Amino acid sequence: MTSPIWDVPHLAAGSPKPVLDPNQVYIYNMRFCPYAQRTMLVLLDKKVNFNVININLKRKPDWFVAETFGLVPVILYKDAIIPESLITSDLADELFPGAALTPADPVAKAKDRVVLEIFGKVISNFYKTLLAKEDEVAHSALQDLLTAKTKVAAEYKKRGTKFFCGDSPGMLDYMIWPWMERLPCIPLRNPNIALPDCGLDAWVKEMWGTEPVSKYGLTPEQHMTFLAEYRKGDDCNYDILLK
């Protein structure tokens, strides 16, 4: 069985820069990065023939730092170097063939972006909850997380569709998924914390059934294993999933 194209070692300081074909699509990625996952899911949905270059973000190669913001994801195509997850995801949607993931109607697109803006509170408070050293801090951040998640769930219910974007996942679905995939890490990290459904469990189940998520998604236990590695600092092993 052939390994997925993302099952490649993370290049670190001292690694030579790969030789790139300008006619091929490349993504600078980190296997556990939720922001990079956004664009990976879009590329998979669009069935783009692309290549993955994983980057060790603790010990970044000099050439990577020199030509980027030092962050992933980055799309490289025809000598263009495009960073930032929302930008690279939009680029992949607009540049490559396949059904558009972004609504053509400007109002519908704006409404999706409003939901994404609300979801930003889930993202920020996810990290506060997960990494809090005191229960009081964790529970306070969790309440802010759940308030935002409930608002997002209310929008999902109002739409009355399988996914936020209709009968198949769209840009909004993919932009919020990486953190929804990681939310179950919170009770693993702190057994005193429970995560109520808030009305999105059905959507989560549907997302796991999609090809991009089922191929690229990881379990909460895998995410937690990487978190333990990440806390080692420069000694972090980014390749824990490689056989």
Q: Tell me phi and psi for residue 69, to 5 degrees.
A: -80, 0
DSSP-assigned letters across all residues of 74-141: EEEETTEEEESHHHHHHHHHHHS-SS-SS-SSHHHHHHHHHHHHHHHHHHHHHHHHHH-SSHHHHHHH
198 is catalytic: no
- Residue 29 host element (H or E): strand 25-29
CA distance 113 to 123: 15
Cα dihedral sign, 204-155-45-53: negative
Which position among 33, 185, 198, 236 bears the catalytic label?
Answer: 33
Helices then strands, counting H and E runs in the chain, come out as: 10, 4
Is the alpha carbon torsion for 19, 16, 9, 40 positive or negative? negative
Tokens of 20: 């790139």
Which residue's structure tokens are 């556990």? 32
Instruction: Please state, in angstroms and as integers, the Cα–Cα distance from residue 140 to each residue in 119, 145, 222, following that order.
Output: 17, 9, 26
Q: Are 31 and 4 in contact (CB under 8 A)?
A: no
From the number of C-beta atoms within 10 Å of its C-beta (0-12, 13-18, 19+), residue 207 rates as buried
Active site residues: 33
